[in-house]
């Protein structure tokens, strides 16, 4: 009986040991499961790669093309006005009758009763030659159209020279069109150097057409109009030069100013 009791006690002790070993094994698994939650080095590299992708895309993304600036400078009554917009910049001047694009510029108004000088200028310092056509509608009244070359974008300053197209009334309401070569010797004071009367061959339908060619050689400007060269060249001893188109309304008590003109570049 005592022997059976001893054997039974040994078996119970052995079972307790097995149970404890199972308990220990179960508890040792827990840390292993916990360590699986920690991100692996592979996970960390993947995260870094994903966060770097937008940066590389931004760096390599093409930049936007800058908008072209307006080449023209507006001029009103002796003063350069603020910069024009980049898109359809000449349309900003519709309030003074100027509009157009790079190839054709329109000057148009009717029954204007105020004095002034209004126009546009462009830097042509890097150009050796210029060709353009000025077409003046025969309805022009009490207005002078100016084509000027000068050292700055103000066409009525000293050292500016150019052409003035204007009507001159004759008897019985008829008028002639004259083209006068002028120069400014003092601010706003001009002198006529020479003049040419328009001939019928220059008129197409209702427009008088004047084809101009300006050639720059050193400090001189050589000019021709309708394939007729002007004998006198212009001195222009400056590092900069501007081409200006402007008009001067000169209304009277009997006649309001009127103009329709087109400037066309080839």
Locate the domains of the chain by residue range.
2-59, 72-264
Tell me if residue 26 falls in helix, strand or coil: helix
Q: pLDDT band for 108, please (50, 70, 90 cuts).
A: very high
Q: What digits encode the pLDDT tens for the residues 181-221?
A: 998 877 667 888 888 999 999 999 999 999 999 999 888 88
Q: Output the six-digit token pair for 7.
A: 């054997």
Bigger pLDDT: 81 or 263? 263
Q: What digits encode the pLDDT tens for the residues 42-81?
A: 444 434 443 444 444 444 544 555 556 889 999 888 888 8
Helix (H) or strand (E) holding 14: helix 2-35
> What's the burial of 69, exposed, middle or buried (CB within 10 Å: 0-12/13-18/19+)?
exposed
Q: Report the alpha-carbon distance of residue 139 to residue 206 in Å, rounded.
A: 8
Q: Does domain 72-264 have CATH number 2.60.120?
A: yes
CA distances from 222 to 1, 4, 73, 130, 233 (A): 143, 138, 24, 11, 5
* SS3 labels along 121-186: EEECCCCCEEEEEEEEECCCECEEEEEEEECCCCCCCCCCEEEEEEEEECHHHCEEEEEEEEEEEE
pTM over 0.75: no
Q: pLDDT band for 244, please (50, 70, 90 cuts).
A: very high
Q: Output the six-digit token pair for 133.
A: 């056509």
Angle of CA points 40, 46, 47, to nearest 5°: 95
Q: Output the six-digit token pair for 9.
A: 């006690």
């Amino acid at each position: 009986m005592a022997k059976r009791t001893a054997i039974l006690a040994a078996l119970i002790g052995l079972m307790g040991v097995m149970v404890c070993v199972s308990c220990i094994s179960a508890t040792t698994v827990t840390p292993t499961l916990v360590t699986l939650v920690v991100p692996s080095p592979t996970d960390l590299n993947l995260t870094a790669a994903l966060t770097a992708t937008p940066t590389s895309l931004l760096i390599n993304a093409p930049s936007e093309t800058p908008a072209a600036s307006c080449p023209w400078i507006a001029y009103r009554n002796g003063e350069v006005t603020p910069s024009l917009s980049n898109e359809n910049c000449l349309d900003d001047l519709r309030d003074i009758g100027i509009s157009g694009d790079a190839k054709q510029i329109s000057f148009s108004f009717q029954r204007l009763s105020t004095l002034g000088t209004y126009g546009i200028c462009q830097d042509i310092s890097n150009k050796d030659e210029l060709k353009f056509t000025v077409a003046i509608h025969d309805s022009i009244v009490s207005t002078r159209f100016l084509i000027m070359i000068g050292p700055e974008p103000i066409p009525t300053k000293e050292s500016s020279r150019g052409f003035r197209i204007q009507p001159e009334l004759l008897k019985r309401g008829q008028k002639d069109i004259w083209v006068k070569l002028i120069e400014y010797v003092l601010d706003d004071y001009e002198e006529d150097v020479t003049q040419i009367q328009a001939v019928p061959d220059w008129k197409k339908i209702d427009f008088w057409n004047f084809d101009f060619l300006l050639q720059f050689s050193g400090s001189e400007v050589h000019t021709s109009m309708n394939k007729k060269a002007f004998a006198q060249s212009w001195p222009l001893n400056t590092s900069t030069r501007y081409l200006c188109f402007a008009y001067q309304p000169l209304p009277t008590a009997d006649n309001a100013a009127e103009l329709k003109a087109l400037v066309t570049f080839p």
